[in-house]
């Protein structure tokens, strides 16, 4: 009876192995909670803000809004409410607000676009190399391990992580799914889905990898061909804006200025018997501001059109929009 009672007490008390497992599970659960919801921002704010280009608006949009509000209040308090109509200060504040909000977004979007392009260019070579080594007699884990020592540019760190997961005896289908999720590009997700479904159906992995390589190569070739063909239209959009700006500069500095000076001279001499001032009523500041608004609006939306035509995404044209907006702003503030 005493022996059974002792045995029961020993089973009731957790051993060292059980305590270690409980501690490990608690750490895993704590780590998982820190990576979810608002805790992710506290854990690694830089990663959260840069993992998707649009996430940076969480910071840049409020900063830009605060700048605009304080600038708006400062202009009214120092120069009066009528300064909004007859001064370019509020225009300057509005342009700087747009730059503060959109420059980080344009930079991160361009960076992400370059990363995606580099990955998609290297992906067919990776699939083709793994398929070739697997056909030569290597097991799939060994083929991936051998390939991970190669140089695939931006894709290399993701291949090394895939190699680690496969070497830890994680099933290939699960590992390749995680590989596609980490890459986060449409081409990678499509290729990974093809490989996973074909592997589950019991197909030859080498043939599946080679088919995925060919599909990826065709996709990249078509995207590159489209980008090259549309490049001329992007150049046309940019040149059209510069021509528009040049025409406004010439018209403002020659035609309108000459008419305003001639009209003022006629009005001051009193020789205008028709009652017309021959351009003396032309408000050059008003027209310069009007033309500056037209140039800035065209600059911004022309850039978005260029991005849509060149890369199939309007947001990809933000870099063109901001560059042309800065050119228009500087031109009217310092030269026109």
Per residue of the chain (336 residues), give pLDDT as tens: 444 444 444 444 455 676 766 776 666 666 666 666 556 666 777 777 888 888 899 999 999 999 999 999 998 888 888 777 777 888 999 999 999 999 999 999 999 999 999 998 999 999 888 888 888 878 778 888 888 888 888 899 999 998 888 888 888 888 888 888 888 888 888 888 888 887 777 667 788 888 888 888 888 898 888 888 888 988 999 999 999 999 988 888 777 767 767 666 666 665 554 444 444 556 677 888 889 999 999 999 999 999 988 888 899 999 999 999 999 999 988 887
* Tokens read off for 163: 């190699």
Side-chain-side CA neighbours of 46 within 13 Å: the count stands at 0
Q: How far apart are CA 249 and CA 265, in angstroms?
A: 23
Residues 6+ apart with CB under 8 A from 53: 105, 108, 109, 111, 112, 315
In this structure, what token pair is assigned to residue 80? 């009066």
Question: How far apart, in whole angstroms, are the C-alpha atoms of residue 13 and residue 2?
Answer: 17
From the list 303, 155, 154, the residue with the least C-alpha distance to 240 is 303
Structure tokens at 237: 């959009």
The DSSP 8-state label assigned to residue 204 in this structure reads -
Q: In 3D, which of 133, 182, 192, 193 has the Cα closest to residue 156?
A: 182
φ, ψ for residue 202 (rounded to 5)?
A: 90, 20
Look up the pTM and report it: 0.79
Residue carrying the six token digits 């805790």? 39
């Amino acid at each position: 009876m005493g022996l059974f009672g002792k045995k029961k007490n020993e089973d009731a008390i957790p051993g060292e192995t059980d305590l270690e497992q409980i501690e490990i599970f608690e750490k895993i659960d704590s780590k998982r909670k820190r990576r979810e919801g608002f805790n992710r921002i506290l854990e690694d704010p830089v990663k959260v803000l840069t993992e998707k280009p649009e996430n940076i608006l969480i910071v840049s949009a409020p900063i830009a809004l605060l700048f605009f509000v304080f600038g708006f209040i400062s202009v009214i308090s120092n120069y009066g409410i009528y300064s909004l109509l007859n001064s370019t200060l509020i225009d300057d504040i509005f342009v700087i607000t747009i730059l503060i909000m959109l420059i980080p977004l344009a930079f991160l979007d361009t960076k992400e676009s370059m990363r995606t392009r580099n990955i998609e260019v290297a992906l067919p070579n990776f699939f083709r190399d793994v398929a070739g080594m697997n056909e030569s007699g290597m097991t799939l884990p060994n083929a991936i391990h051998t390939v991970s020592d190669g140089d695939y540019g931006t894709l290399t760190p993701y291949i090394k992580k895939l190699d680690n997961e496969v070497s830890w005896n994680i099933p290939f289908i699960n590992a390749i799914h995680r590989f596609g999720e980490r890459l986060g590009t449409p081409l990678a997700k499509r290729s990974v889905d093809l490989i996973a479904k074909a592997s589950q159906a019991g197909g030859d992995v080498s043939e599946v990898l080679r088919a995925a390589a060919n599909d990826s190569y065709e996709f990249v070739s078509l995207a590159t061909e489209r980008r090259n063909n549309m490049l001329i239209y992007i150049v046309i959009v940019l040149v059209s804006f510069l021509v528009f700006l040049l025409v406004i500069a010439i018209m403002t500095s020659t035609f309108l200025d000459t008419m305003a000076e001639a009209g003022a001279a006629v009005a001051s001499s009193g020789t205008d018997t028709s009652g017309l001032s021959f351009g003396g009523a032309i408000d050059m500041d008003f027209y310069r501001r009007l033309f500056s608004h037209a140039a800035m609006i065209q600059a911004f939306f022309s850039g978005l059109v260029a991005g849509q035509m060149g890369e199939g995404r309007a947001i990809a044209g933000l870099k063109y929009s901001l560059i042309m907006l800065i050119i228009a702003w500087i031109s009217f503030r310092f030269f026109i």
